[in-house]
Amino acid sequence: MSCINKNKTTAACFSIVLFCAGAHADSGEQENVIRLGYADIHFHTSTSDLEGPPGTTPPGIKTDINNTQTLALIYERRISGPWSVLLQGGLPPTLKIDAAGTAKSIGRVASAKAWFPAVILKYKFRDIMGIHPYIGAGINYTFYTNKHMTDAYTNAFGGTSSSVKLDNTWGGVFKLGLEVPVDKNWIFDVGYSHYWIKNRATITTDTPGIGEVERTIKAQANPDAFGLMIGYKF
């Protein structure tokens, strides 16, 4: 399936969720919330060794993703009572990927913008001294743009240029947090989300005397996102 078709499928799923929310909520209880704020993202990177044709790739080459920050955006639609649906996203952070393992000395090897929008079913507990704890779970769809391999990577393998293909993937997401009402319409939100994200990178390097050499590496990123947000109810 192409990236375009996958993105269309994701958009269709989001539309169905919103339609169902509107169909099942009592009109008197429907509530929308827009949240905007800061997200600090910490990756728990685990990768296989970089693999290539025999004799082209030394053993023990791995990668690591640097932690990053981004602007987070969440739309919430109440379904009924304490239940609501979240569409969670934001500006795509630029992932900076470094060599690790036996190739750590190479340094920065790649970068890409990561998009991982999520649909989450949320349950809000009764307030405790005016504070509303909540918990949720759902799915995320991850894809990448602005993919780039560095000269450091290409030079390490004696190539003239390199390109990379990153798989688009589905995964789970878990969320919990606290809402603190400021007034009737405004809230302050402190949240934590854990994403399960797997990926496979296929890197092609043009190598003089050999031609195109293709290497692959599998990775689990599984980031934790800590958010501080302001929300507006309408």
**Is 147 within a domain?**
yes
Task: Examine residue 10 and state whether it is found in any structural domain, yes or no.
Answer: no
Note the pLDDT of residue 227: 98
Q: Tell me the pLDDT tens digit for each residue of 132-142.
A: 999 999 999 99
Q: Determine the average pLDDT of the residues in 174-200.
A: 96
pTM above 0.75, yes or no: yes
Least confident of 8-22, 55-69, 141-155: 8-22
Flag whether 67 is in a domain: yes
**Contact at 8 Å (CB) between 188 and 144?**
no
Site of tokens 């932690």: 67
Banded pLDDT at 26 (limits 50, 70, 90) = very low
Q: How many domains is the chain partitioned into structurally?
A: 1
In a domain, 196, yes or no: yes
Average pLDDT of span 47-53: 97
Q: For residue 24, is it within any domain?
A: no
Going by C-alpha positions, the residue among 191, 183, 133, 144 that lies closest to residue 166 is 144
101 Rama class: left (phi>0) / alpha (psi -120 to 50) / beta = left
Q: Is residue 2 part of a domain?
A: no
Domain membership of residue 85 as a residue range: 32-233
Query: Domain holding 159: CATH number?
Result: 2.40.160.20
Q: What is the pLDDT of residues 143-157, one digit of tens each?
A: 999 999 999 999 999
CA triplet 120, 123, 128: central angle to 5 degrees? Answer: 135
